[in-house]
A and B are shown apart, each in its own frame.
Chain A
């Protein structure tokens, strides 16, 4: 099997859509948990690209990178959620409007 199941462009567009949804989620969600989930979406879009390109180049590096991204995502989620819990204990809310997240 030396062809992709569907043309490479389809994968890139799919990954782009997922990444854009992540960006939109990050910018519009009010809740910090949903923002963290949107970041996971962005990471997964990148993972999809990495796996596809690993297949295209016939190089395991891309797959190994996904493995590392998983680790990073786990570390980030653990610390992010721990801080989220700390904020919730203080304020009873994880609403970013009330946190003025983008106040410049």
Chain B
């Protein structure tokens, strides 16, 4: 045991200052709400300022601290910075988009924001964890509060059921993940990703083959992440939970929680599993293809817009993982860029659904008919986000798809890219159907409606993100690429 070192102690805690800051205010907001000392609009404003403060602290830490803390189990490297900012952007947009939903809650309004912040703490810790044990606990921290958020309309059957389903599937996935971690620990005697990688390599050198059970361990971990990412065939919980949960939470689940899981996935497989790539890379290619096919094929037949977006996000994760088969800095860059493009487009699309449902009370696709007359702004935003999800230039979605496909082709995965392109055409069909309905309705529907001010701001920010990333990707791509190069070991 190393002797206690005060300087090291301060340096360690300074590195996790953003999380501490966020946690402190999460406790204050929740505590004030539990004691009934505040109304919900204040909680919401506090939550947003808290996240802005966290962003500022994160920038300060990124500039001043050297990155690793607690013996290297927690790192604040460039990858962590990229994904923390994606997550915090997702949290800000979610909190701002929740204002209307929260004001209609019958109880526990202030705690709602507290729960979101707690979950955000878990996600931020998750993207920084380089040790499986820390990763597992951080993942649990982020999901335990998400369970409750999914069930937040607890007097609504669909929402309560969504919470229960999410608890069950979340529990199963974390148990599967843990079993994989346990086998990996047995094989290598450690839970630190870098040492796991060394251990695997050493055993491979010694015997010329991978240790038995390694494939099983990696597949179990992959399945555990598959559940969190709603990757086919582990996606069966997603449509029900997405449909039943309050819509801002659906957006949060589909954006921030997936970004965190994706970052953890990148670390585990690109760093820890890197020597064993022969084992898992084919599995990931197959899962990505399956997700693209199943997600898009099922999305076509949906009549509820939230279910359609749920299946479409299953497919989107498939596209992201196409970049993973490259297993080089460029692959990691394409995935991260895709995650960012997806953040703005998907968040924007769900906020459009919120704005629409707030005024009309409906989430059916057929009711979007004629939206361009009733609310031209909303229809315009929604069309933009759907086009970005479909991958039409000049939106961010187009470049994102281009990057992941280019990364996969470099490594010779032509078949996977062909599947991707073919399913993109299918996807374009159902996204375009919605747009056609909005702009060229069969019969006229009456009654224009305005969009709430905060929602308009969220929509504008998301639209700006989608367009800026699509038109001026240069600086962002350079930034992400530097991050990817810093953590992917040279092959």
Contact = CB atoms under 8 A, between A and B. Distances in A.
A–B contact with Cβ pairs below 8 Å: the answer is yes
- Going nearest first, the 7 A-B pairs with the smallest beta carbon separation are A42-B175, A53-B186, A57-B189, A49-B182, A39-B171, A80-B167, A46-B178
B365 interface: no
27 contacts: A26-B168, A26-B172, A32-B164, A32-B168, A36-B171, A39-B175, A42-B176, A42-B179, A46-B175, A49-B185, A50-B182, A56-B186, A59-B190, A64-B133, A65-B182, A76-B170, A79-B167, A83-B148, A86-B154, A86-B160, A87-B164, A91-B157, A99-B165, A101-B165, A101-B240, A102-B236, A104-B239
Contacts of A50: 182, 185
A32 B146 CA distance: 19
Given A72-B140, A100-B240, A86 B189 contact: no
Contacts of A22: 175
Given A61-B191, A75-B144, A91-B157, A83 B186 contact: no
Nearest to B179: A46
B151 interface: yes
A81 B174 CA distance: 17
A97 to B, nearest CB: 12
B185 A84 contact: no
A90 to B, nearest CB: 5
Contacts of B485: none
B74 to A, nearest CB: 15
Q: Main secondary structure on chain B at its contact with chain A? A: helix
A39 B179 CA distance: 12
Nearest to B140: A72
Contact of B175 (A43, A52, A100): A43
A62 B161 CA distance: 36
B362 interface: no
Interface of B: 133, 136-137, 140, 144, 147-148, 151, 154-155, 157, 160-161, 163-165, 167-168, 170-172, 174-176, 178-179, 181-183, 185-186, 189-191, 236, 239-240, 298
Most buried by A among B161, B167, B183: B167
Contacts of B167: 36, 76, 79-80, 83-84
Contacts of A59: 189-190
A21 interface: no
Nearest to B139: A72
B9 to A, nearest CB: 20
A35 B176 contact: no
A27 B172 CA distance: 10
Contacts, number: 120
B172 A42 contact: yes
Most buried by B among A19, A32, A86, A103: A86
Interface in A19-42: 19, 22, 26, 32, 35-36, 39, 42
Contact of A65 (B147, B160, B191): B191
Contacts of B298: 104
A90 B191 contact: no
Contact of A86 (B151, B178, B236, B239): B151
B194 to A, nearest CB: 15
Contact of A101 (B168, B175, B191): B168
Contact of A45 (B171, B179, B181): B179
Nearest to B163: A83
B298 to A, nearest CB: 7
Given A45-B179, A83-B163, A90-B155, A53 B189 contact: yes
B164 A76 contact: no
A87 B164 CA distance: 7
Nearest to A83: B163
Contacts of A83: 147-148, 151, 160, 163-164, 167
Contacts of A46: 175, 178-179, 181-182
Contacts of A100: 240
Given A46-B182, A104-B236, A65 B163 contact: no
A32 B151 CA distance: 15
Contacts of A64: 133
A94 B182 CA distance: 32
